[in-house]
A and B are shown apart, each in its own frame.
Chain A
Amino acid sequence: MTRRYNAFSLIKEGLSGQKGWKPAWRSPEPKKQYDVIIVGGGGHGLATAYYLAKNHGITRVAILERGWLGGGNTGRNTVTIRSNYFYPESVALYELSLKLYEKLGRELNYNIMFSQRGVLSLIHSEPEMEMAARLCNAMQINGTDAEILDVEAVQELVPILNFNADARYPIFGATIQKRGGVARHDAVAWGYARAADAMGVDIIQGCEVLDFIKEGGKCVGVETNRGTIRANKVGVAVAGNSTVMAKLGGYELPIHSYTLQACVSEPIKPCLNTVVVSPPIGTYLSQSDKGEMIIGGGLDRVPSYNQKGNPPAAETVISGMLEMFPVLRQLRLMRQWGGTVDVTPDSSPIIGPSGVPGIYLNCGWGTGGFKAIPAGGWLFSHLLAKDEHHEISRPFDLDRFTKGSLIDEAAGSGIAH
Chain B
Amino acid sequence: MQIYPCPFCGPRDETEFSFGGEAGNDRPEPAEKISAERWAQYLYTQDNPRGNSHEIWVHLTCDEVFVMERDTVTHEVIGTKSLRQEDAK
Contacts and interface: CB of A to CB of B under 8 A. Distances in A.
Contacts of B40: 254, 401-402, 404
A404 B37 CA distance: 10
B61 interface: no
Contact of A254 (B46, B53, B75): B46
A257 B48 contact: yes
Contacts of A345: 43-44
Interface string A288-304: 00000000000001111
A254 B44 contact: yes
A243 interface: yes
Contacts of A243: 46-50
A88 to B, nearest CB: 23
Interface stretch (A37-45, A184-192, A305-313): A305-313
Interface in B3-18: 13-15, 18
Interface in A127-156: none
Interface residues of B, number: 25
A224 B2 CA distance: 35
B43 A310 contact: no
A186 to B, nearest CB: 25
Main SS of chain A's interface residues?
A: mixed
A74 to B, nearest CB: 20
A361 to B, nearest CB: 14
Nearest to B57: A302
A240 B73 CA distance: 12
B1 A310 contact: yes
Given A244-B50, A312-B1, A402-B36, A302 B44 contact: no
A230 interface: no
Contacts of B49: 243
B72 A306 contact: yes
Interface in A222-260: 241, 243-244, 252-257
Interface string A248-284: 0000111111000000000000000000000000000
Nearest to B18: A301
B46 A241 contact: no
B1 A253 contact: no
A256 B48 contact: yes
B19 A301 contact: yes
Contact of B19 (A302, A305, A311): A302
B85 interface: no
B41 A252 contact: yes
Most A CB atoms within 10 A — which of B2, B18, B48, B49? B48
A403 B50 CA distance: 28
A241 B51 CA distance: 12
A55 B53 CA distance: 42
Given A301-B18, A305-B50, A312-B14, A402 B37 contact: yes
B32 to A, nearest CB: 17
A305 B46 CA distance: 14
A303 B45 contact: no
A256 B45 CA distance: 9
A53 B55 CA distance: 43
Given A303-B72, A402-B37, A252 B1 contact: no
A303 B1 contact: no
Contacts of B45: 252-254
A253 B48 contact: yes
B2 A310 contact: yes
A306 B44 contact: no
Contacts of A301: 14, 18-19
Given A257-B72, A301-B18, A401 B43 contact: yes
A304 B72 contact: yes
A303 B55 contact: yes
Most buried by B among A255, A256, A302: A302
Nearest to A252: B45
B74 A306 contact: yes
Contacts of A303: 19, 48, 53, 55, 72
A403 B36 contact: yes
Given A303-B19, A304-B72, 9 more contacts: A253-B48, A255-B46, A301-B14, A302-B75, A304-B73, A306-B74, A310-B14, A312-B1, A312-B14
The 7 closest A-B pairs by CB, nearest first: A254-B44, A243-B48, A402-B40, A401-B40, A401-B44, A252-B45, A305-B73
16 contacts: A243-B49, A244-B50, A256-B46, A257-B48, A257-B50, A301-B14, A301-B19, A302-B2, A302-B14, A303-B55, A310-B2, A311-B1, A401-B43, A402-B36, A404-B36, A404-B40
